[in-house]
Chains A and B, each alone.
Chain A
Amino acid sequence: DAGVIQSPRHEVTEMGQEVTLRCKPISGHNSLFWYRQTMMRGLELLIYFNNNVPIDDSGMPEDRFSAKMPNASFSTLKIQPSEPRDSAVYFCASSINRWNEQFFGPGTRLTVL
């Protein structure tokens, strides 16, 4: 299996621009998670989906952040407009179901200038 796939791996953008991060979970996994890693706050969950339905988005920092999962093999995390404080590494993870071991993608390193 290819594992969790994320794109792009690196993104550099200017403040105010829209950013879209993409994730393909492991085939057969029904739960998908978006995490963010920063030096100040470490790794924290932003949102997770179960069977394509958002279950908990309490970690989404602001209305500028939105996430969708239109089908079982694709999810996006969008930031509009982006700000320098959004600079971080964004990880996508998936698991067979919400109770099981989570597997992480390689992450997207976002830099907002």
Chain B
Amino acid sequence: GIQVEQSPPDLILQEGANSTLRCNFSDSVNNLQWFHQNPWGQLINLFYIPSGTKQNGRLSATTVATERYSLLYISSSQTTDSGVYFCATPQGQGAQKLVFGQGTRLTINP
């Protein structure tokens, strides 16, 4: 099945800094989601981005399906951005089972 790898595993930044999180996948994808798991454990949808670039406030995401990666950009980080960021994609063509990466744990210090 498809493999999803995220980097870096941990990231510690000061408030106001910018960051880039990366998601690599081992096969072509037709669906990719980014989630933020907040300190209370809730999984919050950030982007549904099979290809191209999307922006939502301070966050943006780019997926380059042909090169099998996606990037999540966070600008002007705030302490509320802390948590674990996951990317996930279906197991294969026509599949619905989301395969998750191991996540990037982001800590924003005041």
Complex contacts, B88 vs chain A, CB 8 Å: 43
Complex contacts, A56 vs chain B, CB 8 Å: 96-97
A101 touches which of B33, B97, B100 (Cβ 8 Å)? B33
Interface of A is mostly: strand
Complex contacts, A31 vs chain B, CB 8 Å: 96
The size class of the interface chain B forms with chain A is 10 to 19
**Structural contact, B98 and A102, CB atoms closer than 8 A:** yes
25 A/B residue pairs, CB under 8 Å, sorted by A: A33-B97, A33-B98, A42-B103, A43-B86, A43-B98, A44-B100, A48-B96, A56-B96, A56-B97, A59-B97, A89-B41, A99-B31, A99-B96, A101-B31, A101-B33, A101-B48, A102-B98, A103-B45, A104-B35, A104-B42, A104-B45, A106-B42, A107-B41, A107-B42, A107-B43
